[in-house]
Structure 1
C-alpha cells in the first residue's frame, strides 16, 4: 500500500497539485459526473487547494469556485479554469455564510474534504469527523440549489449509518465510496449525494 501512496504523492507533485487528495475527487467525478461545465462550487475545508483547483478545471471559465478554510489558500486557477475565490473563514461561524453569499446566493455543488486533527483514538476521531460533516450537510441544506450535489469525507463510526440515512432523506441518490487512492487502513470514506431535494415531503409537512 505504501507504494500506491507514494505513487499518488509523486503524481500530485508532477501534476502540480498541492495534495494527493485530488485523485480521490477525480475518481468520483469520472464515475458520477457530479461536476459540470459552468457550475458554481463551494469547497469547505479547501486548504491547500487541490479540490478547488480540480473543480475549477472541470467547471471551466463560466463557472465559479469559492474555497473556505481557516488557513488561507492562494493557488492560482489553471489556464481555462474558473475563477477561484479563497476565503479565510470558520465554517462554524454564522458570518461565513454571509461572506460566501457575496459570490453566489446558492451553489450547484458543495464539496468538502474536511477532517479533524486525529488523536489516534478511533472513536474520538470518528465522532469529531461526524460533527464536522453534520455541519457541512447543514450548510448544504442552506446553500445548495435544488437538484444540486454534495460530497464529503467522513471517518466511519457508530453514528455513520444515521448520517447516511439523513442524506438519503435529502438526496435522490446516495453513494458511500472508497477511492483507490485512499489508504486501505484508513477509515475514511466519501459520501456522495446527488439531486438535492430543496423542498421534500418531510419539510413540506413541517411548514403546514
Structure 2
C-alpha cells in the first residue's frame, strides 16, 4: 500500500465533500451511531480529537440546535464548522487546565474520540501510541460521562487491544468492537464501543 493511495480521494471522501463534511471519517461515526445509538437530540456530547471537524458537523446536525457539543483538538476546526450549541477548545488533551475546562462544561451523555497518533509505519510503535490515546479517552469517559452514558473510541489493533477491551467491561454494562464500512480495508483501526456507563466508582 503506497502512501499516495491514502491521499487519493475515494468514494467516501468524495461523498463527504459533496455533503459538506471536512473528511470521510464522518461515515464511521454515522454507522456507529445508527448501530449503537450513542446520542440523539438534546444530548450533551464530548468530541475528542475532533479536527478538522467531520464528527463535529455530524453531531451538530444530529442535535439539530438542541443539547450541547464540546469539541477538542490540538488543531483548529475547519472554518465552516460552526454551531450555536458548539463549544470548541484548542489544546492538548493531556493538559490538566484544559481538562478542568472540559469537565466544567459537563457531565456528558456521550463521549466520542477519533484521535489518532502521527503514524510512523512501524505497527508496534503506532499501536502503542494509539493505546495511549485510548487510555486518555477512557479517563475522560470515566470522569466526565454520566451514568448510563455511551462511549466510542478509535484504536489501532495491537497487543494492548485485549487489555483495553477488558477495561470496557469494568466501566460499561455493554461493550463491542466494531469496524465501520467506511474504514479502509487495509487499515488496522477499529472502534471500541461502550454502552450504558455503570454507576459508582470504578
Q: Same fold (TM over 0.5)?
A: yes
Counterpart mapping for 1:160-199 below 5 A: 160-199=161-200
Gaps of 5+ in 1: 204-208
For residues 18 and 194 of structure 1, what CA distance do their matches in structure 2 show?
A: 28
Counterpart mapping for 1:76-155 below 5 A: 76-77=81-82, 83-102=85-104, 104-155=105-156
User: Do 1:141 and 1:198's aligned partners in 2 also have CA atoms closer than 8 Å?
Assistant: no
For residues 111 and 68 of structure 2, what CA distance do their matches in structure 1 show?
A: 12
For residues 197 and 90 of structure 1, what CA distance do their matches in structure 2 show?
A: 28
Q: How many residue pairs are counted as aligned between the two chains?
A: 196
Q: Mark the CA change 1:130 to 1:67 in structure 2 (over 3 Å): closer, same or farther.
A: same
Normalised to the residue count of structure 1, the TM-score between the two structures is 0.89
Following TM superposition, the consecutive aligned residue runs of length 4 or more in structure 1 with deviations greater than 3 angstroms are 74-77
For residues 144 and 82 of structure 1, what CA distance do their matches in structure 2 show?
A: 22
Aligned-pair CA distance for 1:178: 0.7
Q: Mark the CA change 1:23 to 1:82 in structure 2 (over 3 Å): closer, same or farther.
A: farther
Aligned to 1:206: none
What SS is found at the alignment partner of 1:61? coil
User: Do 1:59 and 1:82's aligned partners in 2 also have CA atoms closer than 8 Å?
Assistant: no
User: Do 1:57 and 1:82's aligned partners in 2 also have CA atoms closer than 8 Å?
Assistant: no
Aligned-pair CA distance for 1:33: 1.2
For residues 101 and 172 of structure 1, what CA distance do their matches in structure 2 show?
A: 23
User: Do 1:42 and 1:65's aligned partners in 2 also have CA atoms closer than 8 Å?
Assistant: yes
Gaps of 5+ in 2: none
